[in-house]
Amino acid sequence: MALTEEPQSLVEDSGDERPKWDNKFQYLLSCIGFAVGLGNIWRFPYLCQTYGGGAFLIPYLIALVFEGIPLFHIELAIGQRLRRGSIGVWTAISPYLGGVVSAGLGCFTVSFLVSLYYNTILMWVLWYFLNSFQNPLPWSSCPPDRNRTGFVDECQGSGVVSYFWYRQTLNISADIGDSGALQWRLLMCLAACWVVVYLCVIRGIESSGKVIYFTALFPYLVLTLFLIRGLTLPGAKEGLLYLFTPNLEILRNPRVWLDAATQIFFSLSLAFGGHIAFASYNPPRNDCEKDAVIIALVNSMTSLYASITVFSVVGFKATNDYEKCLDRNILSLINAFELPDQSVSRDDYPAVLADLNATQPARVARLLLRSCRLEDFLDKSASGTGLAFIVFTECLLHLPVAPAWAVLFFGMLFTLGLSSMFGNMEGVITPLLDLGVLPRSVPKELLTGLVCLACFACALCFTLQSGNYWLEIFDNYAASLNLIIFAFFEVFGVVYVYGMNRFCNDIEWMTGRRPNLYWRVAWKLVSPLLLLSVFGAYLVLLVQKPLSYKAWNPQHVGPSMKPFPDDPLHGQCACHLCLRMGGSECIQDWGPSRPGAPAP
Partner 1 sequence: MLWLLFLLVTASHAELCKPDAENAFKVRLSIKTALGDQSYTWDTNEEYLFRAMVAFSMRKVPNREATEIAHVLLCNITQRVSFWFVVTDPSKNHTLPAVEVQSAIRMNRNRINNAFLLNDQTLEFLKIPATLGPPTDSAVPVWIIIFGVVFCIVIVAITLLILSGIRQRRRKSKGLPEVEDAEDKCETPITVENGIPCDPLDTKEVHLNEAFVPEGERLTPL
Give the amino acid at 141: S
- If binding is defined by CB under 8 A, does position 409 make contact with partner 1? no
- Residues with Cβ within 8 Å of residue 126, at least 6 apart in sequence: 189, 192, 193, 410, 414
Q: Which is nearer to partner 1, 188 or 526 (CB)?
A: 188
Q: Which stretch binds partner 1 (CB under 8 A): 33-41, 77-85, 86-94, 147-155?
A: 147-155
Least distance (Å) from partner 1 to the CB of residue 213? 16
Residue closer to partner 1, measured from CB, 149 or 544: 149
Is 92 in a helix, a strand, or coil? Answer: helix
Residue 586 is classified by DSSP as G
Helix 402-435 × helix 24-35 angle, to 10°: 110
Axis-axis angle for helices 205-231, 24-35 (nearest 10)? 60
Check binding of 195 to partner 1 (CB under 8 A). Answer: yes
Which one of the spans 90-98, 288-296, 300-308, 330-338 is the region binding partner 1 (CB under 8 A)?
A: 330-338
Nearer to partner 1, 269 or 415 (CB): 415
Q: How far is the CB of 327 from partner 1 (least distance, A)?
A: 10
Phi, psi of 14 (to 5 degrees): -70, 30
Cα 9 from chain centroid (whole Å) = 38
Q: What does the alpha-carbon distance between residue 358 and residue 355 come to, in Å, rounded to a whole number?
A: 5
Q: How far, in Å, CA of 408 to CA of 214, rounded?
A: 14
d(CA 352, CA 329): 11
Of the candidate residues 23, 24, 133, 565, the single one contacting partner 1 (CB under 8 A) = 133
Count the residues in the chain: 600
Candidates 9-17, 65-73, 124-132, 291-299 — which segment interacts with partner 1 by CB under 8 A?
A: 124-132
Residue 310 near residue 392, CB atoms below 8 Å: yes
498 CB-contact burial (10 Å; exposed 0-12 / middle 13-18 / buried 19+): buried
CA 258 to CA 530: how far, in whole Å?
10
Print the binding letters for residues 433-462 with partner 1: x by CB under 8 A, - otherwise.
----------x-x-----------------
Query: Under the criterion CB under 8 A, does residue 192 sit at the interface with partner 1?
Result: yes
Among 146, 148, 252, 545, binds partner 1 (CB under 8 A): 148
Please, what sign has the CA dihedral across residues 474, 476, 478, 484? positive
Site string for partner 1, 496-525 (x = CB under 8 A): ------------------------------
Q: Is the peptide bond before 246 cis (omega within 30 degrees of 0)?
A: no
404 contacts partner 1 (rule: CB under 8 A): no
Looking at 5, 16, 341, 567, which residue binds partner 1 (CB under 8 A)? 341
Nearer to partner 1, 366 or 513 (CB): 366
- Contact status: 131 vs partner 1 (CB under 8 A): yes
- Binding partner 1 (rule: CB under 8 A), the pick from 130, 250, 353, 597 is 130
Q: Which residues pair with 559 in a beta bridge?
A: 552
Candidates 17-25, 30-38, 185-193, 542-550 — which segment interacts with partner 1 by CB under 8 A? Answer: 185-193
DSSP label at residue 146: T
Binding window for partner 1 (CB under 8 A); candidates: 41-49, 184-192, 284-292, 588-596: 184-192
Of the two residues 190 and 391, which places its CB atom closer to partner 1 in the complex?
190
> Helices in 38-165 by DSSP H: which ranges?
38-42, 44-50, 57-63, 69-82, 86-93, 95, 103-131, 153-158, 160-163
- Rg (C-alpha) for the chain, rounded Å, is 26
Nearest residue (CB) to partner 1, 208 versus 511: 208
Of these, 4, 8, 9, 342, which contacts partner 1 (CB under 8 A)?
Answer: 342
Binding residue for partner 1 (CB under 8 A) from 11, 62, 182, 202?
202
Binding window for partner 1 (CB under 8 A); candidates: 201-209, 240-248, 476-484, 589-597: 201-209
199 binds partner 1 (CB under 8 A): yes
- Which of the ranges 148-156, 226-234, 394-402, 584-592 carries the binding residues for partner 1, by CB under 8 A? 148-156
∠ CA 454-456-462, nearest 5°, is: 130
Q: Which stretch binds partner 1 (CB under 8 A): 144-152, 174-182, 231-239, 269-277?
A: 144-152
Number of residues that bind partner 1 (CB under 8 A): 30
Contacting partner 1 (CB under 8 A), which of 16, 338, 347, 567?
Answer: 338
Query: Three-class SS of residue 67?
Result: helix
Q: List Cα–Cα distances, 482 to 24, 111, 440, in angstroms.
A: 31, 11, 32
In the complex, minimum distance from the CB of residue 215 to partner 1, in angstroms, rounded to a whole number? 14
Where along the sequence are the contacts to partner 1 (CB under 8 A)?
A: 127, 130-131, 133-134, 143-144, 148-151, 188-189, 192, 195-196, 198-199, 202-203, 207, 334-335, 338-342, 443, 445
